[in-house]
Amino acid sequence: MKKVISLMLVVLLMSTALAGCATKETATPEKKKLVFTSRLWSAPEEKEFIINEIIKPYEEANNIDIEFSIATDDEIFDAIKVQQESGNITTDIITAHSGKMPDWTRAGYVMDLTDVVKSWKDRTFFETFKSSTHKDGKQYFLPVGADVYLTLINKKALKYKPEGVDIDHLTWEDYAKWAVNIAKGEGEGKVVITGIPQKSWIYMFGASALSYGAGFPDINSPEAMKAWKIWEKIGDAKGFIPTVANVESSVDPMKREEGWLCVFHNARVGTVYASNETKYIVAPAPSGPKGIGTVAGVSGYAIVKGSKNYEEAVKFLEYLTRPDIQTKIALGTGGFIPPVKEAIEQLGDGAEDEVIKKALMVLEKGVPSGVPAHEYKDWGAVKQIFDDIFVEAINGDKKITQEYLDAKQAQLDALKK
Amino acid sequence: MPVNRSVKKLIQKTTFLILIATILFFILTPIFFLTSLSFLSSREAYQFPLPILPSLKSEFVAEKSEKGYLISIYEPSTGEYESILDTNKFEKMSTYFRRELSIYTSPEKLKEILSQLDNGDIEKVHFTMRKSLWHNYKTFFKVTGNAKAALIRSIQTALVTILISLTLGGMAGYAFARFSFKGKEQLRFGILFVRMFPAVTIALPMVILLAKYGFYDRPVGLSLVYSVGSIGLTAWITASIFMGIGIELEEAAQVFGANKLQTFFKITLPLAFPGLAASSMYAFIGAWNDTVSALILTQSKPTFAVVVYKALIGSTGKINLTAAGALTMAFPAVVFTLFIRKYINQMWGGVKV
pLDDT digits (tens, 9 = 90+) for A45-68: 788 889 989 999 999 999 999 988
Beta-bridge partners for A282: A152
- What pLDDT digit, counting tens, does each position of B223-259 carry? 998 888 889 889 988 888 888 888 888 889 989 898 9
- Residues sharing a CB contact under 8 Å with residue A90, sequence separation 6 or more, in sequence order: A35, A83, B299, B300
Burial of A238 (0-12, 13-18, 19+ CB in 10 A): middle
CB A335 within 8 A of CB A270: yes
Residue of B nearest to A24 (CA): B218
CB A204 within 8 A of CB A399: no
- What pLDDT digit, counting tens, does each position of A111-141 carry? 999 999 999 999 999 888 888 899 999 999 9
pLDDT at B332 over 80: yes
In this complex, the residue of A13, A16, A43 whose CB is nearest that of residue B316 is A43
Residue of A nearest to B156 (CA): A16
What is the average pLDDT across A351-366? 86
Per-residue b/e over B335-345, b at no fewer than 16 CB within 10 Å?
A: ebeeebeebbe
d(CA A227, CA A214): 9
Radius of gyration of chain A (CA): 24
Asked whether the beta carbons of residue B46 and residue A271 sit closer than 8 angstroms, the reply is no
Asked whether the beta carbons of residue B317 and residue A70 sit closer than 8 angstroms, the reply is no
What is the average pLDDT across B129-139? 92
Q: How confident is the model at residue B207 (pLDDT cuts 50, 70, 90)?
A: confident
Our CA-based measurement puts residue B27 at a distance from the nearest CA of chain A, in whole angstroms, of 24
pLDDT at B145 over 80: no
Best B207, B316, B346 residue to mutate vs chain A (most A CBs within 10 Å): B316
Quote the mean pLDDT of chain B.
86
Q: How confident is the model at residue B296 (pLDDT cuts 50, 70, 90)?
A: confident
In chain B, the percentage of residues whose pLDDT exceeds 90 is 35
In this complex, the residue of B46, B99, B220 whose CB is nearest that of residue A256 is B46
- Full-model pTM: 0.77
Residue B162 with chain A: CB contacts under 8 Å: 13
What is the average pLDDT across A187-215? 95
Beta carbon pairs, A and B, within 8 Å: 138
Asked whether the beta carbons of residue A68 and residue B145 sit closer than 8 angstroms, the reply is yes
Among A208-217, A220-229, B90-99, B239-248, name the one with the lowest average pLDDT: B239-248
Asked whether the beta carbons of residue B46 and residue A42 sit closer than 8 angstroms, the reply is no
Nearest to A255 by CA among B99, B97, B46, B50: B46
- What pLDDT digit, counting tens, does each position of B220-229 carry? 999 998 888 8
Q: How confident is the model at residue B313 (pLDDT cuts 50, 70, 90)?
A: low
What is the average pLDDT across B296-302? 81
CB B73 within 8 A of CB B57: no
